[in-house]
Amino acid sequence: MAFFEGLKKIIPAKVAEESFEFDLKLSNSKSKSEVNFKVDKKNKILTIYLNKLTFKENEILKKHLLKDFGFNKLKFVESDSIDLITKLIAYNKKDDGKTLNFFENILTPNDLLALRDSLFLRDEFYAGNNVSSLKSDISYAHGERGNIISNLCSAGYFEEVMIPLYNRSKTDFHEFYDLAVDRGVKALFVNGRMSVTDITTEIERRLVSAHSSGLKSINIHGIGEKNVQNIKKSLSAIIEKGKSNFLRKNIAEESNVIIVEMILS
């Protein structure tokens, strides 16, 4: 089978050959295993941990599995494996593919993996699917850095800001990327657990960092009526203090969505 030939490029060839007649389990569980597979000889199950695959290994898995998937030659032993791998196989949207290809030789392998997972999450979110488990997976696999990349991706920063910036100036891009991802300065994504005080503190911290780093603006994002109202209250509180000089520009504002650009003076 083409799939098991491809599998030899992901796990040791000997393991793949010995597991040829085994059932296949594709797992997204948070395994602490140091390798990307597990062999259960007693029950004849070969488990592949999807979260531990590199970007290249994941592409190999999709490419070779696709050749056999439609012929029902593979037996899955985990109920959600079929749904999961079907989505991964189908996940070849032209625009997302362009984004990944663009950043392939720009980002580190780990950041590229986080971006790939974030694009997939964004696609699922737009499709109206529950993405809470995917967000947890990204957090587990890529840490806080993955969360920041995911937030930037969901807000369209990679396509709308970073690609044009890289094409204009590679130096400016890397400085922006360092601030946005490594230090989390450029954008604040407000969540429902944050109080008005929390939001105010985070905005003020970013304003100080932005001034010292030479940034010309920072963006505040919020989704949900509660978050929108809390952001407005926070901005009013900062303005009343009169300690920070900035021009507020509403990029988008509705009852349940707000994006504010704070232009520093």
Tokens found for residue 109: 């392998």
To 5 degrees, how large is the angle CA 31–CA 37–CA 38? 85
CA gap 123, 259 in Å, rounded: 21
What pLDDT shows up at residue 73?
45
Question: In which residue ranges of the chain is pLDDT below 50?
Answer: 70-73, 79
pLDDT at 61: 74
What pLDDT, on the 0 to 100 scale, is given for residue 71? 41
Query: By the 8 A CB rule, do 219 and 262 touch?
Result: yes
Q: How many CA atoms lie within 13 A of 137 on its CB side?
A: 20
Q: What is the pLDDT of residue 191?
A: 82
Measured CA to CA in angstroms, residue 24 lies from 38, 39, 77, 99, 238 at distances of: 10, 10, 6, 31, 56
8 A C-beta contact, residue 54 and residue 108: no
- According to the model, what pLDDT value does residue 142 have? 79
Single-letter amino acid, residue 216: K
**For the chain, what are the domain ranges?**
2-90, 94-264
Token pair listed for 46? 């070969």
CB–CB of 192/227 below 8 Å?
A: yes
pTM: 0.62
pLDDT at 216: 87
Instruction: Report the distance separating Cα 26 and Cα 212, nearest Å.
Output: 47
| 213 to 31, 121, 220, 247: CA distances (angstroms) | 39, 31, 18, 18
Residue 30's pLDDT is what? Answer: 63
Contact 237, 189 (CB under 8 A): no
Q: What is the pLDDT of residues 147-182, one digit of tens each?
A: 899 989 988 889 988 999 999 999 989 988 988 888
Q: What is the DSSP string of the chain?
A: -HHHHHHTTTS-HHHHHHTTTSEEEEE-S----SSSEEEETTTTEEEEEGGG--HHHHHHHHHHHHHHHTTT---B-STTHHHHHHHHHH---HHHHHHHHHHTTTS-HHHHHHHHHHHHHHHHHHTT---HHHHHHHHHHHHHHHHHHHHHHHTTHIIIIIHHHHHH-HHHHHHHHIIIIIS--SEEEE-TT--HHHHHHHHHHHHHHHHHHT-SEEEEEEESHHHHHHHHHHHHHHHHHT-S-EEEEEEEE-SSEEEEEEEE-
